Structure formats: structure tokens, C-alpha cells
Amino acid sequence: MERRNFLKTTAIGSVAFAGMANVASATVNRSNDSNTAKFKLKYAPHLGMFKENAGSDPIDNIKFIADQGFRAIFDNGLMNKPPELQEKIANELARLGMDMGPFVLYADFKTKSFVTQDTEIKGMLKKKMLEGLEVQKRTGAKTALVVPGRFDEGMEYAYQMANIIDNMRMSCDIVGKAGLQLVMEPLNAWTNHPGLILTKMPEAYLICVGVNHPSCKIVNDIYHQQITEGNIIPNIDKCWDHIGAFHIGDNPGRKEPTTGEINYKNIFKHIYSKGYDGVLCCEHGKSKPGKEGELALIKAYREVDSFEI
């Protein structure tokens, strides 16, 4: 090879290599960047949703969730965590300016509970409410979830609804003085929870009207309601004054938005347009495994949050 051609070839190769090095460096830097642009709505991943990227420590999970632009978390099992960990979680959320979704206060799918006037059941419910207040004192939680339990095949439906109203009013009187809201969750009977009394949004609305207490609210689980009755946006509007929180999950499959039939972008736009500033709990699984699946989940939320205002 002539010296002139050798030098020309070497120069071109050096430029190409430098360019490739710059691209590689940029790729590494991008992978280490935090995705800090805040979401429009307070979608709330659960602790452990990003364990492949963030590990198992709850505080590390909260930091990772915040770095991805989320403004809230939820933890169904908060009530069962040690008090010192509850306080640590609450302190980290306060430091980062994040909200907490409803924790599960009472959800026994096997017991006929709120539908009865049994004195032992009432005593158990009172005890549970007081335990919930202790969690609220440690964490500052605003909402706690309750499931009214099983349907009683030996009692008229209307009597059972009247009993639920009575027991919910009793429960709200206990927690309401401290400002804690109880959100009832209607659950689908077809795929996940056969035999429960509360399955539809209109039923939850009826109970709220009957209880007539500021602490009596509904958690609208969009996954469950798509299975049970559909009509998602009209039911949101009809129940709006009584909705205290949302749960998210696509159907079928109960994975992240964009993996099923629910048009979450339109639903979120509608909720946002109504001025909602509460929490929407990401109560679902991931459609893909591993770190890549967790990142795909975040990308899905970026997609459904990209509605135009």
C-alpha cells in the first residue's frame, strides 16, 4: 500500500473509531440517567414492582420510583410491616414529596362480614379500624381499603346492603375523626373473586349515599370494572364525588396499560380533565420478565400519560 493511501485509510479509521467511542459513551450515560420528568397523574407503582432494577429494599424502591418520574407509591401490605419500617417509608415519601395510595385495612374474601349484624363481627371491625388508625398515625396515610366480604346466600340482598351501610357508618365514625378515608373496592366475580357482595360501581355509590359520611369513599379498580360492567368513563362521572382512589390494570391479563383492551390514554385524559389529584395504584403485573420488562412497564406509562391537555 502506498504511504499516502495508508495515512488516508488510517485517518478515516481513527475518526470512525472515535465516533463509535462517543456513541458508546453516550449510550452508557443515557442508561445511567434518571427519567425524572414528572407524570401528569399520580400513578403509584407498588413496592417491589421494580425489584430487578432497584433491589428489594423498600427505600431503594421508592428512590427508583421517584427517579422514573412517578409521584406516588402504594403498598397493600403496609399494615403488616413493622412499625419502624412504616415510619421509615413515610419519612422517605415526605422527603421526596410523594403520596401514598390506600393500604389494605380489611379484605377477608372468605367471611360474611359487613353484610351481618353479628356482634362478634362488629367487634372485629371496630378493632380493625383502631389498628388502621395506628398505621395512619405512623405514616400519615389518607386512605385505607376495605372489602365488605362475602354475599350471604341466606339473606335478601337488600338487607345485606342495609347492613353494609350500617357497618360502614360505624367504621367511618371511628376513623373519620382522624381524617382517614375508607375506600370500598368493588371486585369482579367472573375472573378473580366469585362470591363477594360488592361487585359494581353503582352498588358502591348506593352505599356511599346511604352512609352519608365524608370518610366513606370508593376505590375504582378499572381492571375489575372492565370485567364486571365496562362503561368505565360514564361510571367515573356518576360516582365522581365518592371516588377516593383508582386502581389500574389492563384486561385481559391484568398487566400494564397498552397490553389489553382498555383505552387508558383516554381514561387518564378524562380523569385529569376533571382535576383529579389523588393516587392511581398500579395494581397489576408485568407483561415481560426481568429488567427489560420493568423498563417496558415505565415506557407504557409514558405512552398513556402522553395525552394532550
Asked if residue 230 and residue 172 are part of one domain, the reply reads yes
* Main-chain dihedrals φ then ψ at residue 141, nearest 5 degrees: -60, 140
Domain span at residue 112?
36-304
Task: Assess whether 272 and 289 both reside in one domain.
Answer: yes
Is residue 281 domain-shared with residue 179, that is, in the same domain?
yes
Mean pLDDT, the chain, whole residue set: 91
pTM (predicted TM-score): 0.89
Burial grade of 222 (CB within 10 A; 0-12, 13-18, 19 or more): buried
Q: Tell me the pLDDT band of 247, cut-offs 50, 70 and 90.
A: very high
Q: 259 lies in a domain?
A: yes
Percent of the chain's residues with pLDDT above 70: 89
Pick from 177, 170, 196, 195: which is nearest to 185 by CA?
Answer: 196
Residues whose CB is less than 8 angstroms from the CB of residue 64 and which lie 6 or more positions away in sequence, other chains included:
50, 53, 54
Residue 309 lies in a domain: no
pLDDT digit string, tens, across residues 105-136: 999 999 999 999 999 999 999 999 999 999 99
Task: Please write the tens of the pLDDT for every residue from 191-207.
Answer: 999 999 999 999 999 99
**163, 272: one domain:** yes
* 237 in any annotated domain: yes
Pair 109, 2 in one domain: no
Same domain, 23 and 53: no
pLDDT of 259 strictly over 90: yes
Contact 294, 45 (CB under 8 A): no
208 CB neighbour count, 10 Å cutoff: 21
Does position 27 have pLDDT exceeding 60, yes or no?
Answer: no
Residue 142 sits in the same domain as residue 12: no
Q: How confident is the model at residue 22 (pLDDT cuts 50, 70, 90)?
A: very low
Q: Are residues 28 and 169 in the same domain?
A: no
Same domain flag for 6 and 67? no
- Evaluate whether residue 253 is within a structural domain: yes
> Is 211 in the same domain as 171?
yes
Half-sphere exposure of 82 (CA within 13 A, CB side): 4
- Look at strands 72-73 and 42-44 and give their pairing: unpaired
243 and 182 co-located in one domain: yes
CB contact at 8 A, 297 and 258: no
Report the CATH number that the domain containing residue 260 is assigned in CATH.
Answer: 3.20.20.150
Cis peptide before 45 (omega within 30 of 0): no
Number of domains present in the structure of the chain: 2
- Examine residue 109 and state whether it is found in any structural domain, yes or no: yes
- Please indicate, yes or no, if residue 267 is contained in any of the structural domains: yes
* Closest to 247 measured CA to CA, from 270, 226, 216: 226
Backbone torsions φ then ψ of 181, nearest 5 degrees: -95, 140
Q: Tell whether 221 is covered by a domain.
A: yes
Instruction: Tell me: do 53 and 9 sit in the same domain.
Output: no
The reported pLDDT for the residue numbered 10 is 42
Taking alpha carbons only, the member of 248, 214, 255 closest to residue 232 is 248
Cα 92 off chain centre by: 18
- Positive or negative, the Cα torsion across 70, 192, 221, 117? negative
User: Are the C-beta atoms of residues 265 and 306 closer than 8 Å to each other?
Assistant: yes
Contacts of 274 (CB under 8 A, 6+ apart): 236, 240
Judge whether 50 lies within some domain.
yes
d(CA 309, CA 302): 15
More confident residue, 9 or 82: 82
pLDDT score recorded for residue 36: 82
